[in-house]
Amino acid sequence: MRTYTPKAGEIQHDWYVIDAAGLTLGRLASQIASVLRGKHKPTYSPHMDCGDFVIVVNAHKIRVTGRKLDQKFYYRHSGYPGGLKAISLRDQLDRHPDRVIQLAVRGMLPKNRLGRQMIKKLKIYATPDHPHEAQQPKPFQF
């Protein structure tokens, strides 16, 4: 018996759409990361990009538990002394709700060039409409 490894030309990338309204951020992010990696397929291979494209709509209606809206902060640094900036989850959801989901999913993907390739297959929109109707995405069942 030999282990089956799919070739790059044999991999088929499907499109899925997920409605994030009322879903918990971390649980949604782990499901999205699993689909982006391709772990839901029988031909999963950890060293190849076997995953599918994921479209997330209604990102502004995401839900978090506890007091995370005021206690969770996103940090960035300009590189200069005193250049640390912080923004709370509540403010980030108001300004850029797509970044909240993208950062949560990115943290669950591999930290290498394969992970950077996988995150490009994630499309996030704050509203219920998206420009990917031509790909005929299927609704994803949890």
**Distance of alpha carbon 61 from alpha carbon 78, whole angstroms:** 30
pTM for this predicted structure: 0.94
**Distance of alpha carbon 125 from alpha carbon 101, whole angstroms:** 10
Tokens of 48: 């190849």
Give pLDDT, residue 90: 97
**Distance of alpha carbon 53 from alpha carbon 66, whole angstroms:** 31
Give pLDDT, residue 142: 79
**Distance of alpha carbon 81 from alpha carbon 92, whole angstroms:** 24
Q: Residue 76 burial by CB count (10 A; 0-12/13-18/19+): exposed, middle or buried?
A: exposed
pLDDT in 10s for each residue of the chain, 142 residues = 888 889 989 999 999 999 999 999 999 999 999 999 999 999 999 999 999 999 999 999 999 999 999 999 999 999 999 999 999 999 999 999 999 999 999 999 999 999 999 999 999 999 999 999 999 999 998 7
Give pLDDT, residue 7: 92
> Which domains does the chain carry?
14-65+96-135 (3.90.1180.10)
Give pLDDT, residue 141: 87
| Cα-based distances in Å from 64 to 82, 89, 93, 109, 118 | 30, 10, 11, 21, 25
Q: What is the 3-state secondary structure (H, E, C) of 54-79?
A: EEEECHHHCECCCCHHHHCEEEEECC
Give pLDDT, residue 4: 85
**C-alpha of 11 from chain center:** 20
